[in-house]
Chain A
Amino acid sequence: MAGPISVILHGERDCGNSFVHHRMPAPHRFFTTAITEEEATSGRVDAPLAECLRLVLEETNPSAVLVLHTCLLSMIGSEPQKVIEEVVRDTGSSVPVLFLDTGGLRLSGQAQMADWLYATLASLPQLPLAEEGWRERWLPLLVEEAHLLDRSIREEGAGLDEGCCSPAPLKDRSLEPEAFLERLRDSLSGARRPGDRISNLIGVESGGLIRSEALRVLFEAGVVVAGIFPEGAHLRQWRRISHARLNVVVDRGLYPRLLERLERGYGMETLEVPLPIGLSQTERFYALVGERLGLAEALRSARQAHREAAEAAVESFRRRARGLRLALGLRMLNNYEADQLAYGGMGDLMAFEELGFDITLLVQGPPEAAGRFALMLETLGCKLPMQVFSSPWSLAPLLAEGGFEVAYLADHAAEEARKAKVPMMVSRSLEPFFSGVAPNLERLGELLGLAGRTGGEGAP
């Protein structure tokens, strides 16, 4: 996460490599109490934490501090909360210091862990939003965010370190700053309460969202997006998450704690949408947002051209790919990325179904749990054939015997797919929204050897 947030890992030094630091915007904001064996055996683990926290507060000028726990410290019963309270009291600091009991002895799923972290971040003290003159105060903030986003787009590769949310990207340069401001003012003019007409997007991968047409389409229709959560969101966005009226959420079941905080704590509303991958799910995404915000017509017109291009691409591909066998892997991922976890990892499924593939789900897990998996899929309304496999290395024979033409699996299954001679696409690598459809199909076509093959009348 970008922003002046410092992280203290309270434990032995080796636990510091639980993160992929070189992919983070600010590894220099990570600290470890580097507990020694002697400190652990004698139970003297509070003093290093107190000293570390005091120094972090003094020297890093953080807007928030997270203190994480490790297995060892959980095992010996350390109580960081007390130490944190003492340090905060002694230093008179007003910086929020949050303790997360991340010791690895309590097993829980990726989704629960992610939800817990996001609920914690959303519980950070919110920046004030006074009723009087809120629109005028919002405008410069939104413009600033748009410029930050614009900058990160220009500096391709810079990621979203500088900030990631925007009412609309300026990348197409179609609007001069004054016109841009005017459009924003128009969008907010119909608002009756603070935050009306302003929405957060939760659960769409921010990079894909930015590459797509979505922010521009939403903006043109008058939808003001204030923040893209959870991954990539800047600390200041978490501290303003309550300022919007509506949260547009991909898979509300993924965020029970976060939504409890947003709905009950802040009185915000939630609109659940599908993961906008492929034609039909993207269409539904826009339709739901438009309907909820009373902007259905405006949104329909803003997305029309994008939808038509995507429709044509899907229709052409379907003629060539209908009936081809596709293996789609589930429960193979060990990460915390929201779009990958959404809808039980099946967020992409409909994008393949609409292309006419003959799909089989390959579910990683104990074979004896096959009945349970079948029930889970049924609950999600999925009636596709399913096979359970115990570990990635048992995939090769399964893929070969299944006669699959293509597989959509976690990256670590690449070797198995190679062995089985089945072309593979990495899970959740499909680009979102309408503008993602054509490149997705191009990649799939290449994999399937369909490039250049005509699909009948009207096909390119």
Chain B
Amino acid sequence: MKPPSKALERFALKAHHYGRISGVSLAAHAIPDAFLLLHTGVGCKYKAAAQISIHDWAAQPHRREGWTEVGDGALIRGAAARIGPYLRSWYDRQRPGLLLVCSSSFLEMTGEDVAAATREAAASIPCPVAYIPGFGFTGDLYEGYGEVIRAVLELVDWSVPAQPGSVSLVGYLHDRHEADHQANIHQLRGLLAELGLTLDSVLLGGQPLSRLRAASRSGLLVALPLAHRMVEALEATGREVVSTGLPQGVRGTSLWLEEVGRAAGVDGKKIAQVTSRLAGYAEKGLEALRGRTLGMRSALFAETPAAVGWGGLLEELGLPPRLVGLRDRSFGGAEALREGLGRQGAPLREDAEVLEDPSFWLVGSRLARLLETGALRVVVGSAGEAALARSLAMQRQGSQREHGAVSVITGFPSTGYHVIHPAATLGYGGAIAQGQRLLDALFGGSLG
């Protein structure tokens, strides 16, 4: 497969093509008592919900999402007036804890004051109402998701006194209600407890608004990568703020615990004892896999912070990435990836190629080349890259396993991997769990 020219790559559909509306929808889905009113045309109606519904087998998004049914007639007459009646009607039907209104590009461009219409309607509605513009020209899913976190932060009463040892996480990407996220939060709660800290709220961690508001109890706010862009807003709360990477992989988790522990004033010796003990357990567990992956290489596709986490873990497992595709437009690209991996002491190998926001076509052409040369044993990525790799492998040899390359699905969307047991991606436990998945994929039995 020949790669597209640079000129055509600009137009080619990106492997991560999800925009702000998708991020808002995902964030609304993460708050079980939120309701999202899309102020859009019919095309946007189920745009994100359709994706989420196949990504999340534990909870359907449809029941907590509506739209203002804007057609050409409404557009001509002025569509913003529809927001009030629809909001009131949905509130009466669903009694949500939080109403979110998200508009789309063409309605924003009519010049109607959607924000004012939402504010006006909110005055007659008993629950909080937040408005998020849904411009589709720029930004990505993570920006839209972050906007909802901002809106939630504004609903927290920061005047209450913080409780000692309480920590809240801001910027956690909770994309489904399956057991992987429950396991992650359980992991992080356990790790913080080892340092004598209590995890209070996770924004957003699948909790209802009342639990998110309990972030006010925390004296320390841990800004995960998705929240780095809102550090100023976090600092304005008067709480201590520490910006970290994702606690992924053994070294990544240790680094995270050190940063959080230090910011919380935990004694350095205690941090070192905890990380050394727990990292030791994890490394011992991963040893079995590492010895069998000598010389194997991987291709990795994830948003930059997760690519740092996965990149570090793959290096630890003896599967260093040969190709990395960064599935975002808002986390700093290749430079941020290299910097993050460097901090973990797991720099990218010299021959590794990094693609920023690549198209499906470009991903396909690079994967095809690596598969052709037999340089690749595992593709870690979303269902999109996994499907592409699978189809390329099949075109070559008739089946993926015959060819020797396997895929492990992670991120959004994940339609071939659903989780009913607590298999984390984060923390030391996450390193073990993902190591197990890789082991199963690489060496597991197959009928193929």
Chain A contact residues, CB within 8 Å of chain B: 8-9, 12-18, 20-23, 25, 27-37, 40-41, 48, 51-52, 55-56, 59, 70-72, 74-75, 102-107, 154-155, 158, 161, 334, 391-393, 411-412, 414-415
Contact = CB atoms under 8 A, between A and B. Distances in A.
B63 interface: yes
A30 B13 contact: yes
Contacts of B7: 51, 55
B60 A107 contact: no
A41 B109 CA distance: 8
B48 A72 contact: no
A415 B382 CA distance: 26
Contacts of A18: 43, 47
B59 A415 contact: yes
Interface residues of B, number: 67
B244 interface: no
B387 interface: yes
Contacts of B8: 31, 52, 55-56, 59
Contacts of B10: 34
B338 interface: no
B430 interface: no
A71 B70 CA distance: 10
Contacts of A30: 12-13, 360
Contact of B46 (A16, A34, A334): A334
Interface stretch (B49-57, B146-154, B286-294, B419-427): B49-57
B387 A23 contact: yes
Given A21-B360, A22-B384, A71-B106, A107 B71 contact: yes
A52 B11 contact: yes
A27 B4 CA distance: 14
Interface string B247-275: 00000000000000000000000000000
B105 A14 contact: yes
B391 A25 contact: yes
A28 B63 contact: no
Interface stretch (B16-24, B165-173, B235-243, B436-444): B16-24
B235 to A, nearest CB: 30
5 contacts: A14-B136, A17-B48, A27-B360, A37-B105, A334-B46
Interface in B84-143: 93-94, 104-106, 109-110, 134-138
B13 A15 contact: no
B294 to A, nearest CB: 30
Interface of A is mostly: helix
A414 B53 CA distance: 12
Nearest to B13: A30
B330 interface: no
Contact of B43 (A33, A56, A71): A71
Nearest first, the 9 closest Cβ-Cβ pairs linking A and B are: A14-B136, A14-B19, A104-B43, A104-B41, A28-B361, A72-B106, A30-B13, A12-B136, A16-B17
Contact of A155 (B50, B109, B398): B398
A233 B108 CA distance: 39
A414 B387 CA distance: 27
B13 A16 contact: yes
A153 to B, nearest CB: 13
A392 B413 CA distance: 24
B63 A21 contact: no
The interface centre, meaning the residue of A20, A25, A28, A30 with most chain B CB atoms within 10 A of its CB, is: A28
B75 interface: yes
B399 A155 contact: yes
A451 B51 CA distance: 35
Contacts of B138: 13, 36-37
Contacts of B413: 22
B388 A28 contact: yes
Nearest to B135: A37
A345 B104 CA distance: 31
Given A22-B384, A30-B360, A392-B62, A105 B19 contact: no
Given A28-B388, A59-B5, A106-B72, A21 B13 contact: yes
B64 to A, nearest CB: 9
B182 interface: no
Interface in B17-36: 17-22
Given A14-B137, A17-B17, 13 more contacts: A17-B47, A20-B54, A22-B384, A31-B13, A32-B17, A34-B10, A35-B137, A37-B105, A71-B43, A103-B41, A104-B44, A334-B46, A412-B62
Nearest to B73: A105
A107 B110 CA distance: 19
Contacts of B225: none
B360 A415 contact: no
B415 A22 contact: yes
B244 to A, nearest CB: 29
A16 B17 CA distance: 6
Contact of B136 (A15, A393, A414): A15
Nearest to A36: B137
Contacts of B382: 22
A393 B63 contact: yes
Contacts of A106: 71-72
B383 interface: yes
A358 B22 CA distance: 42
Nearest to A108: B42
B364 interface: yes
Contacts of B45: 104
A51 B11 CA distance: 9
A196 to B, nearest CB: 36
B238 to A, nearest CB: 36
B352 interface: no
Interface in B325-367: 359-361, 363-364
A9 B17 CA distance: 12
B391 A13 contact: no
B136 A21 contact: no
Nearest to B409: A22
B11 A12 contact: no
Contacts of A13: 17, 19, 136-138
Contacts of B134: 14
B189 interface: no
Contacts of B93: 391
B233 interface: no
B20 A105 contact: no
B100 to A, nearest CB: 17
Given A13-B136, A30-B360, A75 B391 contact: no
Contacts of B415: 22-23
Contacts of A161: 391
A28 B136 contact: no
A75 B364 contact: no
Contacts of A154: 398
Nearest to A56: B8
A74 B244 CA distance: 44
B388 A27 contact: yes
B43 A15 contact: yes
Contacts of B186: none
A20 B413 CA distance: 10
B394 interface: yes
A28 B62 contact: no
Contacts of B60: 392, 412, 414-415
A12 B105 contact: yes
Contacts of A107: 42, 69, 71
Contacts of B360: 21, 27-28, 30
The interface centre, meaning the residue of A13, A15, A18 with most chain B CB atoms within 10 A of its CB, is: A13
A32 B43 CA distance: 15
Nearest to B413: A22
Nearest to A12: B136
A21 B327 CA distance: 15
B211 interface: no
B106 A75 contact: yes
Contacts of B62: 392, 412
A210 to B, nearest CB: 17
Contacts of B70: 105
B105 A72 contact: yes
A22 B412 CA distance: 11
